[in-house]
Every structure is written in structure tokens, then in C-alpha cells.
Structure 1
Amino acid sequence: MIIDKVIGNVATLEKRAPHVERVYLESDHLVKRIQRVVTDHGNELGIRLRENRDLVDGDVLFMDEKNMIVVSVKEDDLLTIRPTSIKQMGEIAHQLGNRHMPAQFEGNEMLVQYDYLVEELLQELAIPYEREKRKVKEAFRHIGHSHD
């Protein structure tokens, strides 16, 4: 089966099928418009999205009266950074920006993918953080840039 569009998201769907199959994806695979995946029931699917959009956790790839296939994002190894002041936020944001490291924000937390050098930097700057396994809502976007 080839999937060419996302039907909706389980968070907003009014009607659901009774049986759910899941496609477990790493967060960096959410940005791929073309890929081959296997459901947790062993069914192989091709994804070739027509629209230019990223997949997100809970996206419904297929649904009929009995079955639906839903995207589930695997947990990432993250550093959850919790600066206690605007100064700490500025310091770590500047350092991460110099490394071209993508970050996401949830409430007062900054999320970055685990990197031992960033962990050492956080310890050096005495910025509160926690290393944890956690689902992210969207893929981390790496932005290409060169210093000419």
C-alpha cells in the first residue's frame, strides 16, 4: 500500500476505527516525504506524501471502518534545559546557536538532542538540565549555514 496523504490526527479526529496499527518512527524520519515503513503488525507501507509537510505524532495514514494506521514517534535521548534566568537562557542559546544545534521549546524548557559536549557545557555554566527519554512533537530541523 502507498500512502500519499495524511488523513488527520488522532488528537482531532471525531471518528476512529476500532483496530489501530502503529508505525513507529524516529523523530528525524518525520521530515521524510518518501519512505518505506513497517507497522507493528508487520504490514509494509510506502509513504510518498503529495503535500510538503512533516509527519507528526498521531498522524493517521490510513483508515476504514475497521482499521487505522497511526504514526507514533519513538522517544529521543534529550537534554531538557531549564534556565533559571534570562542571562542563563541567553548564554545557552548563544552557545547552541554557535553549534548550529536545533532546539525546541515547551513551556519554560529548551529541548535539544543529547550531546555529551553540550552536557559538559551545561555543567560548566551551572544551568539546570536533565537527560531524559522523551517524545518530541516534531522533528528537530537542522539548518544549514556557512560562515563565509
Structure 2
Amino acid sequence: MATCQTIRHHGHWSEPADHVALTYDDRFLRRKVLVTTSGARILVDLSKTTSLNHGDALELDNGALVEVLAAQEDLLEIVGGDLRRLAWHIGNRHTPCQIEAGKLLIQRNHVMQDMLHKLGATVIEVAAPFTPEGGAYGHGRTHGHSH
């Protein structure tokens, strides 16, 4: 089994030898065995918990690169209504949100879905890769209010 202790961020590497598709939650890791699209097993053993993004690469101990892809997952697509206001309510609940022209995407959650309906949004259940906005104080995710 190959081992990965180094991450190459999007744009700082060349051709991958393989790929691994991970959900948003699975792209937050420190130590875990992953299975690539070709079936190879990789032990990711990072020095600290890291948020991986679509397009990053795992650098294996043999120098090969495995590209990280955002996997399909169950999401809510929010359209209609005042998207700026809806985005504020989503952010106020510390819910990761992918912002695109004319729509917002969040992970499926019936409580959020109900709230958004009450705020006048049209909410559609979809399956798509999820790449929400990162934190304002650095790359990746933010937790708590220590910033």
C-alpha cells in the first residue's frame, strides 16, 4: 500500500497517475485509507488534519500523484427569492455553501430545507459535486470563532 504524507495544492502539480473521488466531509482528513478509481489503496498519513479541495493532489511515497476529485453527493439547490438574503441565513447557521450564478448549493438537510422554503426559496434535491466557499481567514474550512 502506498503512503501519502504530502499534499500538492491545485495548480502546483502536473499529470496525475490516478484519481480519488471524495465527498466534502471525506475531504477533511488526517489519517485514513483511501481507494482510488483504479482500486489502489493509499494510506494518507498527514501531520495535521487538512481540508482537501477538488483539484488538489496526494503525493505518494513513490512520487506519483493522485488527483482529488469532488464526489457526487446529495445536495439542495436553492434558486429563486433573494439569494443574498438566503445566503446570509445559510451562513448565519454556519452551513457550508457553494455559491454559483443564480443558485446556492448546500448539503441535504431537512431543517435547512424547511427554513429556506419558509423564506421563499425554491429548493430542489440534486446530486452533484460539492465545493463550498472556503473560510475568509485562510484556505479550506473554518471551525468555531477563534479567528
Query: What's the TM-score once normalised by structure 1's chain length?
Result: 0.69
Larger Cα-atom Rg: 1
Tell me the residue number matched to 1:16. Answer: 15
Change (3 A) 1:38 1:79: same
Cα deviation for residue 5 of structure 1 reads 0.8
User: SS where residue 106 of structure 2 aligns?
Assistant: strand
Cα deviation for residue 68 of structure 1 reads 3.8
The 5 Å alignment of 1:41-56 reads 41-50=38-47, 53-56=50-53
Moved more, 72-81 or 121-130: 121-130
CA RMSD of aligned residues (A): 3.5
**2:107 aligned residue (92, 113, 122):** 113
Cα deviation for residue 42 of structure 1 reads 2.1
The answer to whether structure 1 residue 93 and structure 2 residue 88 are counterparts is yes
Tell me the residue number matched to 2:125. Answer: 131
Change (3 A) 1:139 1:4: farther
The answer to whether structure 1 residue 40 and structure 2 residue 37 are counterparts is yes
Q: How many residues in Structure 1 have an aligned counterpart in Structure 2?
A: 138
Tell me the residue number matched to 2:56. Answer: 59
Gaps of 5+ in 1: none
- Contact 1:78/1:133 (CA < 8 Å) preserved in 2? yes
Moved over 6 A (4+): none
Cα deviation for residue 97 of structure 1 reads 5.3
Tell me the residue number matched to 1:4. Answer: 5
In structure 2, give the amino acid aligned to 1:16. E
- Contact 1:80/1:132 (CA < 8 Å) preserved in 2? yes
Larger RCO: 1 or 2 (CA < 8 Å, sep 6+): 1
Q: Per residue, is there more strand in 1 or in 2? A: 2
Query: What's the TM-score once normalised by structure 2's chain length?
Result: 0.69
Gaps of 5+ in 2: 135-140
